[in-house]
Amino acid sequence: MQPKDPLTCAVCNRLFPRRACASIPALRPSLKARLAKAHPGCDAEGWICMEDLNKVRTGVVEALLASGTGEMTRVEAEVVESIRREELLTRKLMDEEEDAPITFGQHMADKVASFGGSWSFLMAFAGFLSVWILLNAALALFFRGRAFDPYPFILLNLILSCLASVQAPIIMMSQNRKEARDRKRAENDYKVNLKAELEIRGLKEKMDHLLDHQWQYLMEIQQIQVDLMEEIARRKH
């Protein structure tokens, strides 16, 4: 027989509708052990509301994560919080990545690094060097050495040195930002994988628990059928 609404939570003693409660005997062994440890006086045959059940689940996950190192890391704490809130972690991480601010300097560094590492930059720079050298060679030839940067092109060497000294830090800034973004993505992948592992582990434990209960029910039904058959046989004789 299905219990009638409302039901009393064995932990907080508040009334809840049937859909907002879970049967304590039907909980997984790890959840029941955690519940008995956290609330020794609660009714082991009663009901628990979803809010308190999520707290128990969070406690089980925290104990599981802390069992290896003795304490949880910041990433593991965020995963536990997402489990407690029952939120989709991938959607949250995607929103955080899309909302991450980017400064004008970072945007310019990315543009300069992207252009500086392309064939367009190499071809444009090769054309600039060729024009500079040919122009100064022609001026030196026709005006008897009165070129603005005669051979060995000291001014050109100064420009190249200045360009290299400015371009290198800009490219390094862009690479550092990309490295930080890659580390963040790797951390997000770890969060998703960790939560998936914990959820699958809990699901497996729940399935094993349900199968064990189902097997007990089947054995009880089979025993009843055997008793009935023996009773029928005795009556015939």
Residue 166 or residue 53, greater confidence:
166
Q: What is the pLDDT of residues 85-143, one digit of tens each?
A: 666 666 666 656 656 677 777 778 888 888 888 888 889 989 999 999 898 888 887 87
Percent of the chain with pLDDT over 70: 70
Please give the average per-residue pLDDT across 2-13, as a whole number. 75
pLDDT of residue 204: 72
- The rounded radius of gyration (Å) of the Cα atoms in the chain is 36
Read off the pTM: 0.47
pLDDT of residue 233: 73
For residue 203, pLDDT beyond 90: no
Mean pLDDT of the chain: 77
Q: Tell me the C-alpha distance between 152 and 225, whole Å.
A: 107
- Find out whether 17 and 27 touch, Cβ atoms under 8 Å: no
126 contacts: CB under 8 Å, gap ≥ 6: none
Written as six digits, the tokens of 122 are 């190499």
Please give the average per-residue pLDDT across 154-175, as a whole number. 88
- Find out whether 196 and 88 touch, Cβ atoms under 8 Å: no
The band of 34, judged by pLDDT with boundaries at 50, 70 and 90, is confident
Report DSSP letters for 214-228, one per residue.
HHHHHHHHHHHHHHH
- Find out whether 198 and 79 touch, Cβ atoms under 8 Å: yes
For residue 223, pLDDT beyond 60: yes
Q: Tell me the C-alpha distance between 141 and 190, whole Å.
A: 67
Residue 50 or residue 83, greater confidence:
50
pLDDT of residue 95: 59
Amino acid 223 reads Q
- Find out whether 21 and 48 touch, Cβ atoms under 8 Å: yes
pLDDT of residue 131: 92
For residue 29, pLDDT beyond 80: no
The DSSP 8-state label assigned to residue 40 in this structure reads: T
- Max mean pLDDT among 88-102, 183-197, 201-215, 220-234 falls in 183-197
